[in-house]
């Protein structure tokens, strides 16, 4: 019995011992078993249980914080250290807490805890002071931070980590980045898991563009512990600058999971997208970043490039403008981008000229872009800009540019300095004797009245290129020289060698069309349609003629033009001819559909709106044009280009008061500028408000005095006040460097007012020779010749009809003069075209006289009777009576 009682007591004792509650030391001991095997996750589970049982145990919370830190739970570790410190202050716990707070850039918290616990510090520890000093610096207290760092540098143990870091920061703040970088690197070697050593090394390395060293510093840190967001931001930035896009993408993905839609993430992601040529996503993220921080230059530059690459030139320029206005000294790279964007928008205005003037030097990598811009300005009528750029680019040496840029510069210079263009072209051909280079050099020689020399070079190349190619080149040279005999012979040889040759067929088509030989014209057009190398402009000429003649073949040509357009929708030239074809066919529904569909998305926005305006102008749809302008302005409320285009359009259609009102709108929205001041004087003059124009002229800035625009306006004011000699003095000086249509028109008006017809004739001959496409000046000269020399008027009229087959007055005069000069067949052809297009009595009279001269009395009678139905003026009624008497038809 005693034995059983003893056993029972023993068992009870064991049970009581086993069920006794765990102590703090028990939990620490159990956790350490896992910690010794690096099993921190398991240790943290045990320690959390211990903390829940002993919440006031600083020791358990400290050890829990250590374990959580090891498994990357930075936030949990921070909280555990913080509570541990509140329960029982210890310097080492504070140091470890500050390490984690620095990792999270919680500098205000470091400052707050340090200052609250300063009285509890066991002794002055350099590590604590160092974290405090760094936090002060990060929170914009540099003076206090600097003093503390200098104290640490002076008192810390030699070669200690704290002294090294303090020295690094002091050198960085004193403007010695190379020395600072050396100290930061040494500090990281001393303590590889130091966030501040890694961050300092990376930041200074990035500031000196040593991206590899920056990446290495952060990578070293990541090998030891989980890094905060700033470390990953710096690492991603380093990778992007080294072109390591895959590695950068990994870091950016981590940041996206942690800080999505934040400014640092959006800047990095948009940078990554732009470097990966994903411009659409770069645009989206960069514009989001700008919404968060409108002053962020990196985001703005990415938005500029992304929108530029996507063809959104106006948007790109709007993002660029704040960068320009925000810099005292604008860099050439920013100016080059501004120039490129203004060029793409076709805005060669005062702002563009300012950017051009602010360039301190030409960028050799931008030579081709400069050439493109200058040629674009020329094509848009901004001759002064193109001339200025030609002069800027005149010193470029051939060795510094590629062949394509050299050819573009040659084309540019040929408009302003023929000798320079010839020299450059000759050097290009000497360096590379390609057919393209030969054609350019030979063409410039021919334009410079050196046809024989030009032909010598072509003949010397007979063993290098095909006979057909050289014959085509000769054909072009004879066109330039106006050598009709050799032109005809070359066309014949070309046609005999290859009956499908586009150039020869185009030549013979034009001859057939001029002579009214419809069957021959159709035959040549059929060949041109089959030839894939026929330019779309030539196909349109064929279509236009055959459509006018109501030939069924015109439908096939219209289809061909449509197919070419469909194949290359991004070509504005193809779009232009396609639109003209639709206009000629009066296919309004199809035209409207094309202009409002998604088909034009590949064209940039400005071109798209302009095409709509131009197409509607062809259709004479003023209400639709007004609506389109409103839509353009609503879609782009800050677009200067839209308002300027509308002002130009209103002037073109003669609505000068509306143009002046729109100019007022422009100035109210965007402010006055030299351009708007000049336009105001112009519109007031055009409205015959001479006094107001003179007052407005006096407000022009002093620095404009003597410039072509200023001289032109001064001349027009003198002209309006009857001071013709003074007017001509100013206008001719302006014309010498800026032969605009306004200056030309004013000079013509001044000579007419003086009745100085002989000088006017000389001026017009010279002007039309230099600017053969100036239809207004050519029409004045034609009118003058109609009174004096019909032989001289004929080629001018032919040119006008070639440009615009629907110029009825030119058709009328041309038919009349052809008849008077005995070219009756040709006269009948153009008379019949006139008959189809016009109901004007004077035009019908011409047709009737041409028929009568050709012996077609019955046809003449029909046209005369049609004329009489329209109640013609008395002189035409007399002409009808005389016709009846001449042909004894009045009985």
**Rounded to whole angstroms, how far apart are CA atoms 352 and 380?**
14
Confidence of residue 247 (pLDDT cuts 50, 70, 90): very high
Residue at 282 is within a domain = no
The structural domain count of the chain equals 1
CA neighbours within 13 Å on the CB side: how many for 347?
23
pLDDT for the residue 307: 92
- Does 373 score more than 70 pLDDT? yes
**Rounded to whole angstroms, how far apart are CA atoms 103 and 194?**
9
Could you read off the pLDDT of 552-581 as tens digits, one per residue? 888 999 999 888 888 876 666 787 788 778
Could you read off the pLDDT of 483-513 as tens digits, one per residue? 778 888 988 888 888 888 888 888 888 888 8
Residue at 458 is within a domain = no
Q: What is the H or E stretch that residue 200 is in?
A: helix 195-207
Residue at 51 is within a domain = no
pTM of the model as a whole: 0.55
pLDDT for the residue 881: 87
Residue-averaged pLDDT of the chain:
81
Residue at 348 is within a domain = no
Q: What is the CA radius of gyration of the chain?
A: 42
Give which of 154, 177, 176 is closest to 166, Cα–Cα. 154
* Helices within 687-807 (DSSP H only): 690-698, 708-720, 724-737, 741-754, 757-770, 775-788, 790-803
**Rounded to whole angstroms, how far apart are CA atoms 862 and 871?**
15
Q: Measuring CA to CA, how many Å separate 491 from each of 47, 474, 748, 802?
A: 99, 10, 39, 20
CA neighbours within 13 Å on the CB side: how many for 306?
26
Q: Measuring CA to CA, how many Å separate 249 from each of 205, 207, 232, 272, 429?
A: 21, 22, 11, 7, 48
Residue at 559 is within a domain = no
Residue at 529 is within a domain = no
The whole domain housing 853 covers: 805-891
CATH of the domain at 880: 1.25.40.10
Q: Which residues contact 588 (CB under 8 A, 6 or more apart)?
A: 619
Residue at 869 is within a domain = yes
Of these ranges, 109-123, 130-144, 772-786, 826-840, the one predicted with the greatest mean pLDDT is 826-840
Residue at 818 is within a domain = yes
Who wins on pLDDT, 619 or 119? 119
Contact, 819 vs 788, CB < 8 A?
Answer: no
Confidence of residue 125 (pLDDT cuts 50, 70, 90): low
Who wins on pLDDT, 783 or 271? 271
Instruction: Give percent helix, percent strand, percent coil of the chain, each to the nearest 5.
Output: 80, 0, 20
């Amino acid at each position: 019995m005693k034995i059983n009682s003893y056993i029972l007591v023993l068992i009870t004792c064991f049970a009581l011992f086993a069920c006794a509650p765990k102590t703090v030391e028990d939990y620490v001991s159990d956790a350490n078993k896992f910690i010794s095997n690096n099993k921190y996750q398991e240790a943290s589970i045990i320690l959390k249980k211990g903390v829940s049982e002993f919440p006031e145990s600083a020791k358990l919370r400290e050890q829990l914080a250590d374990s959580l830190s090891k498994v990357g739970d930075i936030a949990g570790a921070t909280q555990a250290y913080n509570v541990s410190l509140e329960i029982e202050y210890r310097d080492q716990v504070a140091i470890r807490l500050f390490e984690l707070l620095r990792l999270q850039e919680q500098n205000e918290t470091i400052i707050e805890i340090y200052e609250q616990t300063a009285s509890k510090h066991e002794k002055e520890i350099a590590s604590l002071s160092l974290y405090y000093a760094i936090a002060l610096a990060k929170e914009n207290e540099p003076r206090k931070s600097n003093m503390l760092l200098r104290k640490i540098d002076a008192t810390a143990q030699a070669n200690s980590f704290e002294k090294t870091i303090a020295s690094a920061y002091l050198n960085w703040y004193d403007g010695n980045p190379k020395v600072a970088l050396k100290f930061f690197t040494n500090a990281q070697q001393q303590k590889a898991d130091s966030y501040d050593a890694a961050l300092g090394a990376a930041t200074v390395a990035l500031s000196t563009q040593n991206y590899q060293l920056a990446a290495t510093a952060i990578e070293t840190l990541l090998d030891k512990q989980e890094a905060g967001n700033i470390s990953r931001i710096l690492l991603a930035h380093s990778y992007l600058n080294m072109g390591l896009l895959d590695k950068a993408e990994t870091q950016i993905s981590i940041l996206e999971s942690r800080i999505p839609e934040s400014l640092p993430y959006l800047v990095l992601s948009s940078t990554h997208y732009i470097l990966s040529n994903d411009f659409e996503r770069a645009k989206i993220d960069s514009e989001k970043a700008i919404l968060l921080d409108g002053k962020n230059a990196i985001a703005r530059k990415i938005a500029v490039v992304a929108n530029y690459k996507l063809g959104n030139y106006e948007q790109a320029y709007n993002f660029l403008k704040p960068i320009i206005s925000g810099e005292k000294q604008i860099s050439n790279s920013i100016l080059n981008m501004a120039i490129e964007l203004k060029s793409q928008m076709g805005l060669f205005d005062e702002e563009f000229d300012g950017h051009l003037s602010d360039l301190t030097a030409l960028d050799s990598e931008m030579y081709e872009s400069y050439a493109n811009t200058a040629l674009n300005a020329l094509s848009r009528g901004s001759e002064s800009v193109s001339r200025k750029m030609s002069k800027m680019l005149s010193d470029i040496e051939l060795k510094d540019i590629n062949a394509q840029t050299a050819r573009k510069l040659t084309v540019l210079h040929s408009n302003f300095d023929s000798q320079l263009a010839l020299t450059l072209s000759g050097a290009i051909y000497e360096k590379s004797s390609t057919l393209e280079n030969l054609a350019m050099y030979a063409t410039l020689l021919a334009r410079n009245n050196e046809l024989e020399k030009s032909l010598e070079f072509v003949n010397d190349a007979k063993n290098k290129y095909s006979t057909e190619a050289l014959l085509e080149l000769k054909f072009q040279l004879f066109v330039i020289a106006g050598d009709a005999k050799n032109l005809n012979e070359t066309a014949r040889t070309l046609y005999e060698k290859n009956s499908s040759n586009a150039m020869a067929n185009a030549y013979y088509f034009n001859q057939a069309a001029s002579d009214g030989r419809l069957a021959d014209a159709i035959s040549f057009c059929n060949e041109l349609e089959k030839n894939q190398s026929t330019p779309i402009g030539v196909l349109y000429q064929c279509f236009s003629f055959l459509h006018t003649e109501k030939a069924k073949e015109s439908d096939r040509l219209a289809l061909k033009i449509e197919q070419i357009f469909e194949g290359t929708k991004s070509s504005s030239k193809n779009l232009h001819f396609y639109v003209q074809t639709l206009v000629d066919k009066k296919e309004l529904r199809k035209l409207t559909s094309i202009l409002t569909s998604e088909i034009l998305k590949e064209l940039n926005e400005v071109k798209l709106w302009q095409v709509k305006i131009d197409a509607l102008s062809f259709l004479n749809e003023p209400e639709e044009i007004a609506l389109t302008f409103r839509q353009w302005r609503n879609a782009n409320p800050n677009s200067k280009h839209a308002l300027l285009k509308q002002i130009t359009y209103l002037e073109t259609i003669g609505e000068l008061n509306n143009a002046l009102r729109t100019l007022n709108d422009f100035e109210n929205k965007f402010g006055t500028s030299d351009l708007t001041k000049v336009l105001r004087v112009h519109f007031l003059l055009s409205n015959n408000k001479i006094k107001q124009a003179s007052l407005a002229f006096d407000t022009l800035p002093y620095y404009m005095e003597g410039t072509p625009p200023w001289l032109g306006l001064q001349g027009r004011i003198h002209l309006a006040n009857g001071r013709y000699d003074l007017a001509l003095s100013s206008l001719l000086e302006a014309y010498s460097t800026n032969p605009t249509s306004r200056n030309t028109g004013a000079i013509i008006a001044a000579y007419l007012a003086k009745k100085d017809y002989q000088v006017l004739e000389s001026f017009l001959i010279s002007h039309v020779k230099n600017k053969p496409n100036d239809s207004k000046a050519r029409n004045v000269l034609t009118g003058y010749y109609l009174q004096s020399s019909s032989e001289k008027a004929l080629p001018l009229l032919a040119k006008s009809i070639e440009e615009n087959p629907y110029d009825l007055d030119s058709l009328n005069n041309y038919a009349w003069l052809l008849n008077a000069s005995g070219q009756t067949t040709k006269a009948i052809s153009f008379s019949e075209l006139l008959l189809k297009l016009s109901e004007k009595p004077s035009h019908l009279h011409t047709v009737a006289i041409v028929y009568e001269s050709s012996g077609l009395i019955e046809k003449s009678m029909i046209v005369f009777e049609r004329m009489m139905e329209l109640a013609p003026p008395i002189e035409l009624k007399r002409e009808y009576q005389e016709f009846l008497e001449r042909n004894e038809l009045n009985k």
